[in-house]
Amino acid sequence: MRPIFEIQATDGAARNGRLISAHGSVDTPAFMPIGTYGTVKAMTPEELTDLGAQIVLANTFHLMLRPGTAVIALHGGLHRFMHWPHPILTDSGGFQVFSLASLRTITEEGVRFRSPVDGAEVRLTPEDSMDMQLALRSDIAMALDDCTPFPATEKEARASMERSMRWATRSHAHYHQSEPPGGLFGIVQGGMFASLRTASLEALLQRDWSGLAVGGLAVGEPEEERLRVLEGLVPQMPADRPRYLMGVGRPEDIVAAVQRGIDLFDCVIPTRHARNGHLFTSTGFINIRNASHQMDLGPIDPLCSCYTCRNFSRSYLKHLDRCKEILGARLNTIHNLHVYLSLMRALRAAIAEGRLSSFAAGYLAQRREAAGAVA
Amino acid sequence: MRPIFEIQATDGAARNGRLISAHGSVDTPAFMPIGTYGTVKAMTPEELTDLGAQIVLANTFHLMLRPGTAVIALHGGLHRFMHWPHPILTDSGGFQVFSLASLRTITEEGVRFRSPVDGAEVRLTPEDSMDMQLALRSDIAMALDDCTPFPATEKEARASMERSMRWATRSHAHYHQSEPPGGLFGIVQGGMFASLRTASLEALLQRDWSGLAVGGLAVGEPEEERLRVLEGLVPQMPADRPRYLMGVGRPEDIVAAVQRGIDLFDCVIPTRHARNGHLFTSTGFINIRNASHQMDLGPIDPLCSCYTCRNFSRSYLKHLDRCKEILGARLNTIHNLHVYLSLMRALRAAIAEGRLSSFAAGYLAQRREAAGAVA
């Protein structure tokens, strides 16, 4: 079924919503943990649910290469394959292909590249991307877009955006050829140029999308640039559709974007940082590899109520990391995801109670102080 | 407190017992998963408990090098350090030191070796081993022994056994200098020679031990040799003390040893094999890396009730293994430990109901058939 989006409360530009799909509903603003290869690294599906995750993101590009969409289709889709009965968003595969840099060739048809797994030539057109996402049976599929590099001239950004819009049209037509299992999101491009962003949005609004994403941010631009783009663009976006800011970000980036009306987020930071020993605390970041933790009997964060903080010392976590023990990656991931998913709960509660701006001001002040303490 | 051992039922030479320590009780025959670095690889303590593990084994040698016993002592012992509130058995560290081969020097005092972590010279005497195991506050400590190689001449085996007995005396004296937190097990050595095994047991029985272990088996000897040693030795061992067969083994080895009166087992097989994709089934071994599993929607074993078999296909497990995903190691470990711990439950039930020989005959016939099917 096509996802339905209901807005339940607003506070300034921010909204509390519910995104209802065939596999259940998602309370927004929501953070989507990344399940690249059909597993959020180190976690079971039940652990994710216990942490409060209601939706995960899976990477079409990676799953296309391993195990291949045929294996997943044989399972009846990604939900059954990975034993995650809740909503799944899949990306188009485009971003990862563009990241291959010299190994890929872009034409109007789509992208061709050499598989980093076996060297074979692979083609990814808007139609290919839709076919794969349909085979995965994701609840939310993304249109294939051309990823505008940063920095880009206005001319470059316009050409890239216009190609994205043509690919969006092809994605939309192909996705809706027969009854799809979910809904399709269009992606606004246009680099850092407000007029191009508006033009991109207007082009997309020629068609009906289940939601709209803001692409081409979190690509290295300064924070002020990103917020300026959001402040120009988001008020023009339809209020009755979910808005997804792709690839963002740090907790403070999420807070700032929620204040500007964004509903959905994904980022590798909590899970990847966890495996590298970078852990979030209410007074800043810690690196568990630091020698200072060796004799530290305290938890990562005494104010945290996660399984890891309730039961394990920093000393033990440092030991597990040093010995490359799997349990270390697990416990660190539980903690960082708890931080992110707790933040989303707190943001939803603040919006429901009409106190988002004071919550955000307090939170951002604390993060700035924490960043100062680390530096 | 010193562990207490109560025998609750016997069936031939086999016994159902309960080993009661300061951290709770263990139903025997019992299998101890290996928690080398203070973590049973890939598992949380709660998962182990859910699988039915009541005791784990930790390696003193590894913990001495990383994080060092001082860090664990600071936590008040290994239970708190690793968040495992149930019984723990620690080995003496001897076996791992002997495995270093050319890097170590054995004298009457003990063993000296170069740390494989930082190259520093480390000494391990019976007194050192006791001090470390006391610092870990394990419920069951093991005497330091000289590990007799296989094969060995009678002369070599005798000299090694006699050194082990002198070290056992020193271990016993040092462990009991003040009130210990648990109990100490002596280790019978003597290689494959029945008379040396008897002499070793008689030497040990000059002192009071909380239990007795059979060492120097599972070192590459033929199965018939191992069973011959057990059949000669075990009937001479005190009936009122737990008997621990160190490092054994495959499921069929455990069944055969339980029939001969052994109560405690440890082995890396279920956990290490799991991480390498070797999984036990009721009809034999499978290697999840085999191409035949790629399109297999079935579980590892349709007769298995573990979390992995209830929820995940062989195809998915093969994919996780291929992508080196942490979840793959977790799911495989859950399955193999479930197989081992279910076997121990079945053995205890068979003893309680006086039907061990028919259970064992059926089980061993099935394993032989499975081995034939794999070959």
| Interface contact flag, B42 A326, Cβ < 8 Å | yes
Q: Please report, as a single letter, which amino acid is at residue B325.
A: E
Of the candidates B41, B75, B81, the beta carbon closest to that of A325 is on B41
- Which residue among the candidates A11, A91, A128, A145 is catalytic per the annotation? A91
| Interface contact flag, B327 A83, Cβ < 8 Å | no
pLDDT band for B373, please (50, 70, 90 cuts).
low
| Same domain for B278 and B256 | no
Q: For residues A242 and A5, is the Cβ–Cβ distance under 8 A? A: yes
Burial zone of A208 (CB within 10 Å; 0-12 exposed, 13-18 middle, 19+ buried): middle
Q: For residues A160 and A191, is the Cβ–Cβ distance under 8 A? A: yes
CA distance A236 to A239: 8
| Same domain for B211 and B292 | no
CA distance B48 to A105: 50
| Same domain for A76 and A224 | yes
CA distance A84 to A56: 9
**Length reported for chain B:** 375
| Same domain for A83 and A10 | yes
Last residue of a domain, one of B244, B267, B290: B267
| Interface contact flag, A39 B294, Cβ < 8 Å | no
User: What is chain A's Cα-based Rg?
Assistant: 20
pLDDT band for B328, please (50, 70, 90 cuts).
very high
Would you call A310 helix, strand, or coil by DSSP? helix
Domain range enclosing A300: 274-374
ipTM of the complex: 0.97
Residues 142-171 of A with CB under 8 A from B: none
| Same domain for A287 and A263 | no
Last residue of a domain, one of B205, B232, B267: B267
Q: Find residue B121's DSSP bridge partners.
A: B114
- Per-residue pLDDT of B4-18, as tens digits, reads 999 999 999 999 999
| Same domain for A368 and A236 | no
Q: Comparing C-alpha atoms, which of A189, A257, A213, A188 is closest to residue A91?
A: A213
| Same domain for A252 and A341 | no
Last residue of a domain, one of A205, A240, A267: A267
Q: Comparing C-alpha atoms, which of A225, A217, A177, A222 is closest to residue A200?
A: A217
Q: Please report, as a single letter, which amino acid is at residue A133.
A: Q
% residues pLDDT > 90 (chain B): 91
pTM of the predicted protein model: 0.97
Residue B79, pLDDT > 70, answer: yes
- Cα A82 to Cα A226, A322, A341, B279, B280, distances in angstroms: 34, 30, 21, 19, 22
Q: What is the pLDDT of residue A375?
A: 40
Residue A264 main-chain phi, psi, to 5 deg: -130, 145
User: Which sign, positive or negative, has the C-alpha torsion A339, A342, A344, A347?
Assistant: negative
Distance of CA B337 to the CA centre of its chain: 13
Q: Using a CB–CB cutoff of 8 Å, tell me whether B30 touches chain A.
A: no
CA distance A160 to A189: 8
CA distance B9 to B18: 10
Q: Comparing C-alpha atoms, which of B23, B134, B141 is closest to residue B77?
A: B134
| Same domain for A218 and A293 | no
Query: For the domain that residue A65 is a member of, what is the CATH number?
Result: 3.20.20.105
- What single string gives the DSSP state of each residue in B199-246? HHHHHHTTS--SEEEE-S-SSS--HHHHHHHHHHHGGGS-TTS-EEET
Would you call A281 helix, strand, or coil by DSSP? strand
| Same domain for B40 and B10 | yes
Query: Is position A263 annotated as part of the catalytic site?
Result: no
Distance from CA of A318 to the nearest CA of B (A): 9
| Same domain for B346 and B210 | no
- How many domains in chain A? 2
| Same domain for B195 and B47 | yes
Question: Which one has a higher pLDDT value, B103 or B150?
Answer: B150
Of the candidates A38, A81, A319, the beta carbon closest to that of B67 is on A319
Q: Comparing C-alpha atoms, which of A14, A42, A141, A135 is closest to residue A81?
A: A135
- Per-residue pLDDT of B80-136, as tens digits, reads 999 999 999 999 998 888 888 768 899 999 999 998 888 889 999 999 999 999 999
Mean pLDDT of chain B: 96
CA distance B110 to B258: 33
Query: Is position B139 annotated as part of the catalytic site?
Result: no
Sites in chain A below the pLDDT cut of 50? 375
| Same domain for A283 and A228 | no
Q: What is the pLDDT of residue B103?
A: 80
- Per-residue pLDDT of A244-269, as tens digits, reads 999 999 999 999 999 999 999 999 99
Q: Find residue A264's DSSP bridge partners.
A: A30, A244
Distance from CA of A311 to the nearest CA of B (A): 6
| Interface contact flag, A82 B316, Cβ < 8 Å | yes
